[in-house]
Amino acid sequence: MGKINELGAEVAREDADKIVDAIRSAKRFFETDAFLLVAGAAGGTGSGSIPIITQHIKARYGDKPIYALVVLPFEHEEETEVRTVYNTATCLKSVYSVADAVLLVDNQRYIKKDFSLRNNLAKINALIVEPFYDLLCAGEEKKPKHIGARVLDAGDILQALSGWTVTGYGRSSLPMFRWFPFGRTRNFRRKSTETHKGIQTMDAAISELSLRCDPADSGRALYLLSAPAREMNMDLVKELGDYLKQLAPDAVIRDGDYPRGRSALDITVVLSQLSDVEKVRKYYNKSASFVQEIKRKQEEVESKLRKIEEVSKAVPSLF
């Protein structure tokens, strides 16, 4: 039982120095703000190695935050192979003890039943990384027309990430051309439409969080609004902040805007420092039961073997 995902941990221990050397030799390494390690929690190699690699990098580069993105298994994997639950639980417990934040991604959340398995996996991978593009680009933008009034930079992200974390992403299409009546009614209707579209997109981002959770359990949060400059205004930003505050009343919320694109309004949401994650608790509970069951079965096997050995004592040996 102990070797289920310990092989990956052992390999990581042997090669940790090579990995650290490779990181150090990377171009522009010293401009790096943080590390992000990604692994699946259910297998033997990734689940066993990510806590060890995280620990080694943290010991070597303690001044830089280290984040782990852990992908949780599909439901059918949990149901058909009990080791999947055990590997996931040990991976989560181990990496949480060493990483500055653990970003949780539940594969089951992204399944589309009308897609083939191959298309599902490709789509899932795309959806997992989708929230990170605007989030990582906004603070590094060089073109003046794409620099927001409130830039969400690396410092904001580092301050927002802690402990159990989930991400969400929502998108609403915008018409290329709009017609509004002239005068003050035009401005009112346009702002009202933009605000409604923004709230709708925020709600989509919350609904599509990478793991089902209660936003009220988060201690930190951030959101990034990305849209054409003409579609953004102070009323929209305020309404989005108020809406997220209703959902996460105890969270310290950071926000930013990123004026880019032509025909879509995108919102990226990060909920962090979650005080309760039901799915993680379930993994821990199931794993504890699994350990007890394995011990019981091992004792039964050993007992039966001892009985066979006792009976075999009366049989002559060829050695």
pLDDT higher than 70, residue 88: yes
Alpha carbon distance 10, 138 (integer Å): 39
- Give Cα 9 distance to the centre of its chain: 21
Q: What percent of the chain has pLDDT over 90?
A: 34
- Residue pLDDT, tens place only, 297-309: 777 788 888 888 8
Structural domain 1-129, CATH architecture: 3-Layer(aba) Sandwich (3.40)
Tell me what the pLDDT averaged over the chain comes to: 83
- Residue pLDDT, tens place only, 251-269: 999 998 888 877 888 999 9
pLDDT higher than 90, residue 287: no
pLDDT higher than 80, residue 184: no
Q: Which residue has the tokens 């609004």?
A: 225
Give the model's pLDDT for residue 35: 92
Q: Answer with the residue of higher pLDDT: 180 or 173.
A: 173
Q: Answer with the residue of higher pLDDT: 302 or 92.
A: 92
Domain coordinates in residue numbering, the chain: 1-129, 158-279
- Residue pLDDT, tens place only, 25-73: 888 888 888 999 999 988 778 888 899 999 999 988 888 999 999 999 9
Q: What percent of the chain has pLDDT over 70?
A: 87
Q: Which residues of 290-317 are buried (b: 16+ CB within 10 A; e: fewer)?
A: beeebeeeeeeeeeeeeeeeeeeeeeee
Domain 158-279 in CATH 3.40.50.300: no
Q: What is the arithmetic mean of pLDDT over 194-212? A: 88
Give the model's pLDDT for residue 112: 66
DSSP per residue over 125-143, as a string?
Answer: HHHHHTTHHHHHHGGG--S
Give the model's pLDDT for residue 193: 64
Report CA-CA distances (Å) from 261 to 167, 171, 203, 230, 266. 21, 12, 21, 11, 9
Alpha carbon distance 257, 153 (integer Å): 10
